[in-house]
Amino acid sequence: MSLRPAVLITGASTGIGATYAERFAHRGHDLVLVSRNEARMTELATRLRNETGVTIEILPADLTCDDDLVRIEARLSADARIGVLVNNAGTAIPGGFAKHGSDKLGKLLALNVTAVARLAHAAAPRMAAAGKGAIVNISSVIGLAPEIGSTLYGATKSFVLFLSQSLNLELAPSGVYVQAVLPAATRTEIWTHIGRDVNSMVGVMEVEALVDAALVGFDRREAVTIPPLPDDEQWRAFEAARRAMLPNFSRSQPAARYRQAV
């Protein structure tokens, strides 16, 4: 058993989640892998045990199913060995917002929003009480860019970003670090879910490069890590502009421009 904190990773059978598993295993962390695809997790776990010698546990679960979600919540709440949660599981659906069926809409919200919030909520009190721990939430640059489209998917990723930033402010005094990671287009299987050929796209980042960059941000304890953004000053300016508005939100009267009819 490793002396380093164990890492629980959702969506761990492929793509970003599987790459996080590989990187943390090679750093010497024991792993708890969560995904619907038990066969893929078993294959990954076998390889990583052989390569690194770490302990790896597999928890097959569908996080859109409440019984499964409750089971993973209970594990996060009770297992003091788990010091890092990587909230990676997520999905997308094709078509515009008006064309989404209510069943697919509900599944997307359950995985991208409800599961992320509930798993973070399960881990946070225990970590805060211990005075240490980390929660990594995978958001997306689409959450900052409604012009790109993907209305509902983008809205869920905006939620993840806000949740992460607010949680980091709330939990940092207790010694718990929260990171939001904002990938752009990355070579994962999510594109098959929406019927896109990733090989026909430009500007696609390889998943290994994405996770390696995210881990640099993790090691630096960045609150928000945007691997494809070349100029960090743009993000700093964005944040400064947002913060500059805050004092103007607490006013008893509407702004002058709203106090007369057109």
Backbone angles phi, psi at 131, to 5 degrees: 75, 20
Task: Specify whether 153 is catalytic.
Answer: yes
**CA 28/CA 48 separation, integer angstroms:** 11
Q: What is the three-class DSSP state of 67?
A: helix
51 φ/ψ sector (left φ>0, alpha ψ -120 to 50, else beta): alpha
Residues 70, 95: contact at Cβ < 8 Å? no
**CA 56/CA 41 separation, integer angstroms:** 10
Amino acid at 145: A
**CA 2/CA 130 separation, integer angstroms:** 18
- Residues serving a catalytic function are 153
